[in-house]
Amino acid sequence: MKNGDTPETTRSLTLRDVSEASGVSEMTVSRVLRNRGDVSKETRKKVLDAAKRLGYVPNKIAGALASKRVNLVAVVIPSMSNMVFPEVMSSISAELEDTELQPVVGLTNYVPEQEEKVLYEMLSWRPSGVIVAGLEHTEASRAMLRNAGIPVVEIMDVDGEPIDTAVGISHRRAGRMMAQAILKAGYEHIGFLGTKMPLDHRARKRFEGFTEALAKAGCEIEDQEFYSGGSALKKGREMTQAMLERSPDLDFLYFSNDMIGAGGLLYLREQGIDIPGQIGLAGFNGVELLDGLPQQLATMDACRTEIGAIAARIIADRTSGQESEYGKRVELTPKIQYGETLKR
């Protein structure tokens, strides 16, 4: 504090204060507080009492510098508003729970330059590992991660060349699978609704896989629309209405995420349209929210819980020097959930 508005200028406590208060050396205090090395019962108690009485909080900055160990894992993801990422975070946290490691998040908003900045920022804290969403990064980011000398796990996607280790699903394949399921169900006039996100490579890959599989069956997307910003549920509604007014012959709508899919679903039901008979619907992600909709939306699980858990495990294993049971590329298989909006 610059201004002395608090009565006592609260100089932060150090080991020395505790050491003086308990009559032992700083080193002994340090040992007690970290449960390291042998310390007699009585000294231990003396020290703990003093520390508690003073309200001592160790200084990890100094500790980290001296020990060259920082028990932080940098987790770099595009956003928190996508539902998917908070869930990945939860499973990472859960998996790290009984290790010494702690996740720290950084957000990129899908902007590669911001990712680069965030990575630089986080690496400057010398974390024990990095978990980063996606395989697409600036050259500088890749160089930083390579040079960091710590485990790096790229998550969510496996369509590409990982820097170190990748854990995820193939979004191309996910797109193909959904296309095949739709065609197999007999739908023929397919519309696509998604986010306007040139930088969301996973959405792009799903779209590519989707159109590719359609093409292979001699079919093409007949209409498409992209949005950005605003309430996804509302956008789903509006885009569905707009698309059907424009292309009334469509018999299937593939949404790039569940939220806009839910909006579309609500809209179509209000219009009295028979789902999945007259029009079929599918989304992507398998968000929990879907459980409460009037009809269960067809979707595809992106395996985000497993992804988070495995990524965290890999970091934890490698940090503790163990051989990880996972290889350099862990591909999980998304499963279609047919729900009630896709004929079988």
Partner DNA sequence: GCATGGTATGTTAACGCTAACAGATAATCC
Partner DNA sequence: GGATTATCTGTTAGCGTTAACATACCATGC
Q: Where are the alpha helices (DSSP H) in 161-231?
A: 171-184, 201-216
Q: Which of 105, 104, 115, 101 is nearest to 80 (CA)?
A: 105
Tokens linked to 92: 């990472």
Residues 316, 334: Cα–Cα separation, whole Å: 25
- 59 lines the binding site for DNA (CB under 7 A): yes
Using CB under 7 A as the binding criterion, the count of chain residues that bind DNA stands at 31
Contacts of 129 (CB under 8 A, 6+ apart): 73, 74, 101, 150, 151, 152, 153, 315, 318, 319
Cis, peptide link before residue 276, omega less than 30° from 0: yes
34 binds, among a second copy, DNA, none (CB under 5 to 8 A by kind): DNA
Instruction: Give the helix, strand, coil percentages of the chain, each rounded to 5.
Output: 45, 15, 40
Q: What are residue 152's DSSP bridge partners? A: 130
Q: Could you tell me if 9 and 1 are in contact, meaning their C-beta atoms sit under 8 angstroms apart?
A: yes
Closest distance of CB 33 from DNA, Å: 7
Binding mask 209-248 for a second copy (x = CB under 8 A): ---------------------xxxxxxxx-----------
24 binds, among DNA, a second copy, none (CB under 5 to 8 A by kind): DNA
Site for DNA (CB under 7 A): which residue of 52, 62, 278, 328? 62
Residues 63, 74: Cα–Cα separation, whole Å: 19
Using CB under 8 A as the binding criterion, the count of chain residues that bind a second copy stands at 61
Residue closer to a second copy, measured from CB, 38 or 57: 57
- 34 lines the binding site for DNA (CB under 7 A): yes
Q: Strands across the sheet with 72-77, in order? A: 102-107, 72-77, 129-133, 152-157, 165-169, 329-332
- 342 lines the binding site for a second copy (CB under 8 A): no
- 67 lines the binding site for DNA (CB under 7 A): yes
Residue closer to DNA, measured from CB, 63 or 106: 63
Binding mask 31-70 for a second copy (x = CB under 8 A): ------------------------x-xxxxxx-xx----x
Closest distance of CB 8 from DNA, Å: 16
- 305 lines the binding site for a second copy (CB under 8 A): no
Q: How far is CA 133 from CA 80, 238, 343, in A?
A: 12, 30, 33
42 binds, among a second copy, DNA, none (CB under 5 to 8 A by kind): DNA
Residue closer to a second copy, measured from CB, 79 or 180: 79
- Binding piece for a second copy, criterion CB under 8 A, among 80-88, 208-216, 246-254, 302-310: 80-88
Q: How far is CA 248 from CA 41, 77, 189, 234, in A?
A: 80, 38, 10, 20
- 39 lines the binding site for DNA (CB under 7 A): yes
Site for a second copy (CB under 8 A): which residue of 242, 270, 333, 335? 270
Q: Could you tell me if 255 and 281 are in contact, meaning their C-beta atoms sit under 8 angstroms apart?
A: yes
Closest distance of CB 336 from a second copy, Å: 20
Q: For the residues of 17-55, what is the DSSP string, one character each?
A: HHHHHHTS-HHHHHHHHHT-S---HHHHHHHHHHHHHHT
Chain mean position to CA 320: 23
Residues in touch with a second copy (CB under 8 A): 1-3, 6, 10-13, 55, 57-62, 64-65, 70, 80-81, 86, 89-90, 93, 102, 104-105, 107, 120-121, 123-126, 143-144, 147-150, 230-237, 262-263, 266, 270, 288-294, 318, 321
Residues in touch with DNA (CB under 7 A): 12, 14-16, 24-28, 30-31, 33-34, 36-44, 58-59, 62-63, 65-69
